[in-house]
Amino acid sequence: MSLRVAVSGASGYAGGEVLRLLLQHPDVEIGAITAHSNAGQKLGTLQPHLFALADRVLEDTTAEVLSGHDVVFLALPHGASGEIAAQLPENTLVIDAGADHRLESASAWEQFYGSPHAGTWPYGLPELPGQREKLRGTTRIAVPGCYPTSAQLSLVPGFAAGLLEPEDVVIVSASGTSGAGKSLKTHLMGSEVMNGMSPYGVGGVHRHTPEMEQGFSAAAGEPVTVSFTPTLAPMPRGIITTATARLKDKTVDPARVRQAWVEAYADEQFVHVLPEGQWPNTKMVLGSNHVALQLAVDSRVGRVVVTTVIDNLTKGTAGGAVQSMNIALGLEETLGLNGVGLAP
């Protein structure tokens, strides 16, 4: 089987990572590669690590160029994917790495994004309860945001098991700079980010907040609210998320709490609940689709604390996208994703 796959937004970090993974996928033939302002340039000048594609020329991102493929990846600024997707055949598998189709609530979308809602697609986080089934056979996939991937994998098992209170959930994440994309901004320059950590989008305004609440609420069966603070860390890739929630029963046996997470991920190939006493490190998962997490019950204050690491570009974006593609098409879920984390 050979799938013909197109990738839009190929000059950016998300698009580049999709291509990096597809080059290692045995069943994929890379078709059109498109960009916006960089159309007409050779990929080698923009993504020099993709030697095998160095001489490919970026085409314009149009429905015409993208049609005629089995799969189309959209790695576009939010707001751009809805329009393109509407012009692609219904039987083409369209995978949107942008935000447009993630939220079920149109009002949450409008509150946080300030534009009309483009509709909701099946959500590409197969490790959520019942989610893998919803992806099988679909032709439209919304890839989760990078922070929501790490946040939901951190706390959904506890909400699903009825262990966690729906209020005073606090999530603090640190992300590598590639999460901010390739746009030229002073605060993202190397001289500015090395040696520095800085928060942004503080106070409940980050657009990934409602996406986290959506996943938690679905798992909990009641509305969950979240205080989310992202920070920028001096590393190119990786997210570490510290997620903490109040236990409904402050006297619950910590072993029972742990069991909820162990069971939730028992059959998952990419999510690893580390042995007790071992803490995750973003280096464990760099460039891979793996997730590592550890949890602790703080009985003094009656809260559980979960720390989770992912690579924001791989499991947090392109890897989750390829994994979802494999599920949608009935392929083995790990194809193209056998890469091992790059340590040291």
Least Å from the CB of residue 159 to its own copies: 16
Nearer to its own copies, 137 or 199 (CB): 199
Nearer to its own copies, 49 or 136 (CB): 49
Which residues are CB-contacts of 2 (< 8 A; sequence separation ≥ 6)?
A: 27, 28, 29
Q: How many residues bind its own copies (CB under 8 A)?
A: 94
Which residues are CB-contacts of 301 (< 8 A; sequence separation ≥ 6)?
A: none
Is 168 an interacting residue with respect to its own copies (CB under 8 A)? yes
Burial 260-282 (b: 16+ CB within 10 A, else e): bbeebbeeeebbbbbeeeeebbb
- Binds its own copies by CB under 8 A, chosen from 29, 40, 41, 51: 51
Q: Among residue numbers 273 through 312, which ones bind its own copies (CB under 8 A)?
A: 274-275, 278-288, 290, 292, 294, 296-301, 303, 305, 307, 309
Concerning whether 146 is annotated as a catalytic residue, the answer is yes
Element (H, E) at 241: strand 239-246
Is 202 an interacting residue with respect to its own copies (CB under 8 A)? yes
Q: Quick check: 59 and 41 in contact, CB under 8 A?
A: no
Q: How large is the greatest C-alpha to C-alpha distance in the chain, in angstroms?
A: 63
Rounded Cα distance, 243 and 248, in Å:
16
105 burial (CB, 10 Å; 0-12 / 13-18 / 19+) is middle
**Residues in contact with its own copies, shown as a per-residue x/- string from 238 to 277 under the rule CB under 8 A:** x-x-x-x-x-------------------------x-xx--
Supply 110's token pair. Answer: 């409008």
Catalytic hit among 65, 80, 93, 146: 146
Beta bridge partners of 300: none
Nearer to its own copies, 202 or 255 (CB): 202
Distances (CA, A) of 140 to 289, 329, 342: 21, 11, 31
Least Å from the CB of residue 240 to its own copies: 4
Is 235 an interacting residue with respect to its own copies (CB under 8 A)? yes
- Binds its own copies by CB under 8 A, chosen from 91, 186, 266, 267: 186
Rounded Cα distance, 209 and 207, in Å:
5
Q: Among residue numbers 3 through 22, which ones bind its own copies (CB under 8 A)?
A: 13, 16, 20
Q: Among residue numbers 105 through 124, which ones bind its own copies (CB under 8 A)?
A: none
Is 334 an interacting residue with respect to its own copies (CB under 8 A)? no
Nearer to its own copies, 45 or 259 (CB): 45
User: Which region among 115-123, 156-164, 181-189, 322-330 touches its own copies (by CB under 8 A)?
Assistant: 181-189
- Residues acting as catalytic residues: 146
